[in-house]
Amino acid sequence: MGMLDGKAVMITGAASGIGRATALKAHVEGASLLLADVGDENGEALRDEIAGDGGKAAYVNCDVTDEGSVEAAVARTVTEYGRIDGAFNCAGILAAIGNVGENPLEDWKRVLEVDLVGVFLCTKHELLAMAAQGSGSILNMASAAGLIGWPGASAYVAAKHGVVGLSKSAALEYAEQGIRVNSICPSYVLTPMVEKDLFEDALGNDEELIAAARANHPIGRFAQPEEIAEAATWLLSDRASFVTGTAMSVDGGYTAP
């Protein structure tokens, strides 16, 4: 039996990166999936890939900054599968690199709108649906940046610290209703977003800068999305039944010093 046999799981940001890797892992572990993203082509392709492998998956376009869109995605999960047992709120963006004094207000707001407000809206409506059934597990995408400071990324750091705090508060509020809420805190993961927005755009594919970032990981390398997916799937499953309110580091030792 898989860890998620019989479970209905919603994943935002499912079309690429960690969200996609987690969807594929959750499928292997027996979950029925609601895939949510704004990248329709990749999202629909993933749906078809899972269905072609004998799994159950539906796709919806979901803008996590729009409450109506989020509410509709949660409702679609319940309509499709009769319940929502797990949710991984993975959708997010990276911030432009720059010191606090250099940050345009609109850039700051955009990062918080997607990475924090979006997670809040998803958590809110997932909690309401799960409270009605008396059980559930929510996992929110935080970051190593939610545990420490990263110079040049203040908006992203602020958003991810907020996700950690939001998750802890929700865990305390809903524990008696049978709902677990956790966050997961990766460091550098080799996703298309990191490779383009960070390595290419922000660091200019400078090998010395990328090597310096790699050297900050005692394990000696960056993570693969599948490694984060392993931890995420476990946290969503009943095998993590006594885990709530935690911010799990999956960072190759990045935050250990």
Tokens of 154: 């203040």
Tokens of 49: 């890939």
Position 60, amino acid: V
Q: Judging by DSSP bridges, how do beta strands 56-61 and 136-141 pair with one another?
A: unpaired
Question: CB neighbours of 226 closer than 8 A, spacing ≥ 6?
Answer: 21, 25
- Give yes or no: 81 in active site: no
Question: CB neighbours of 134 closer than 8 A, spacing ≥ 6?
Answer: 177, 178
State whether residue 205 is helix, strand or coil. Answer: coil
Return the closest-CA partner of residue 115 out of 162, 176, 60, 74: 162
Position 50, amino acid: I
Kindly name the residue from 156, 174, 188, 254 that is annotated as catalytic.
156
Catalytic residue numbers read: 156
